[in-house]
Structure 1
Amino acid sequence: MGFLHRKTSKQTGKLKTLLGLAISRIAAVRRPRLARKSIATDDVRQLLTLGHLDRAIHRAEQVIGEGNMLEAFEMIEMYYKRLIENAAKLDKPGECTEEIREAAAAVMLVAGWCGELPELPFARTILADKFGSDFAEAAKDGTGIVDPMNRELTKLDLAVGVEVFWQLNSMELKKKVTKEIAMENNIVVDFSELQDAVKDGED
């Protein structure tokens, strides 16, 4: 029993270190994404100023994509901090609260797609050992993961996968973002002009 306790405590200590490194890395990977979002936003503004509405809408895709990733990283960081704060409880995974289990599932899910945080596969291995193979399998598709910011059911993989793909190809969303940038810069946009151009091209 003493050996098992020492093993789990050692694993937990390593997990805290890995998650701490991941949090530090999130701050680093967030900066270039913020820069790319800012550049893309300014590109949209310039294109609107020049009257290139169709190109501005297309450029809005990157504004949306970078924004989604920034939101995902914010949510991920909150999960990691939750696990670090409750690390001692991980030595008895069967007694962990739902919030801790959600955070563990989030780490395991993100480890599958986020190459920017190389510590996570190692953290996933430790958590899988603690919570078991069934839990690890369920975490692969985001089952039971809850957004810690608004407590609504969500899937982190959708934030950067299927949902982002749909959003980037949603003309309605691209128009919405383009309009917001236009309003912030006192630029008037008329999307009916874009529709007329499409109709002319079809004739």
Structure 2
Amino acid sequence: MGFFNRKTSKQTSRVKKLIKLALSRLSIARRPHLARKSISLSDVGQLLMLGHFGRAIQRVEQVIEEDNMPLALDIIELYCKRLIEHVAKLDKPKESSDDIREAVAGIMFAARWCGDLPELLVARDLLADKFGSDFTTNAKEGTGIVDPMLVWKLSGNKTHMELKKKVTKDIAIENNIWMDFSELQ
């Protein structure tokens, strides 16, 4: 009797369990990024004080990356919660709303970038079976319905010189260091 009244398939139930596990690991995954950001900020400040502007600019890439990752994890957390709330809609992917499709695409894209959350890789494969190869290809590439902010936070250009200069200037101001970027290319 219970078999015929099942609300979700086994595959969808497994996706829900994986997403819940990933959700519980998210807070743990944030900690190392916050610690590395703090260390990187300190390193940049010290390099600026010593007058090593070129090396400080290079080290800022780490600051930018570690600053972006917790923000990306926040977006992933929202997607996980949305999928858990609406797990029954995953059984009918063609009828699912744009919010659900965006969450699925975001999880699929993030799986590649979040080594701390291996559950997302397994969930991505299960969701790929449900949503089809075209959807999966677009999601993995970060095109289509994937949130551009998530794509930028995970894979954005951290080597853009203007961004690095801005972050370096902000760190210099926080540490009361005067610096002149005219000598840098």
TM-score (norm 1): 0.79
CA shift digits 1:148-202 (9 cap, x unpaired): xxxxxx17454333x23xx22x22211111100111222222223x34xx7xxxx
Structure 2 residue matching 1:140: 3-state secondary structure = helix
Match of 1:179 in 2: 169
Contact 2:139 2:146 in 1 (8 A): no
Counterpart CA distance in 1 for 2:123 and 2:5 is: 18
Matches within 5 A, 1:34-183: 34-147=34-147, 154=148, 156-161=150-155, 163-164=156-157, 167-168=158-159, 170-183=160-173
- Residue 190, structure 1, aligned to residue 167, structure 2: no
Shift of 1:31: 0.6
Structure 1 residues 45 and 89: CA distance shift in structure 2, 3 A: same
Structure 2 residue matching 1:188: 3-state secondary structure = coil
Match of 1:16 in 2: 16
Counterpart CA distance in 2 for 1:117 and 1:30 is: 11
- Structure 2 counterpart of 1:50, which letter? L
Q: State which structure, 1 or 2, has the greater radius of gyration over its C-alpha atoms.
A: 1
Structure 1 residues 133 and 77: CA distance shift in structure 2, 3 A: same
C-alpha RMSD of the superposition = 2.4
Shift of 1:103: 0.7
CA shift digits 1:92-116 (9 cap, x unpaired): 2222101101111111222234322
Contact 2:110 2:154 in 1 (8 A): no
Counterpart CA distance in 2 for 1:55 and 1:134 is: 43
Counterpart CA distance in 1 for 2:4 and 2:112 is: 28
- Structure 2 counterpart of 1:175, which letter? K
Counterpart CA distance in 2 for 1:82 and 1:184 is: 38
- Structure 2 counterpart of 1:191, which letter? F
Instruction: Detail structure 1 runs of 4+ shifted over 6 Å in the superposition.
Output: 2-5
Structure 1 residue matching 2:55: 3-state secondary structure = helix
CA shift digits 1:68-103 (9 cap, x unpaired): 222222222211111111112222222210110111
Task: Number of aligned residue pairs: give it.
Answer: 184
Identity of counterpart residues, as a percentage?
A: 60
TM-score (norm 2): 0.86
Contact 1:57 1:174 in 2 (8 A): yes
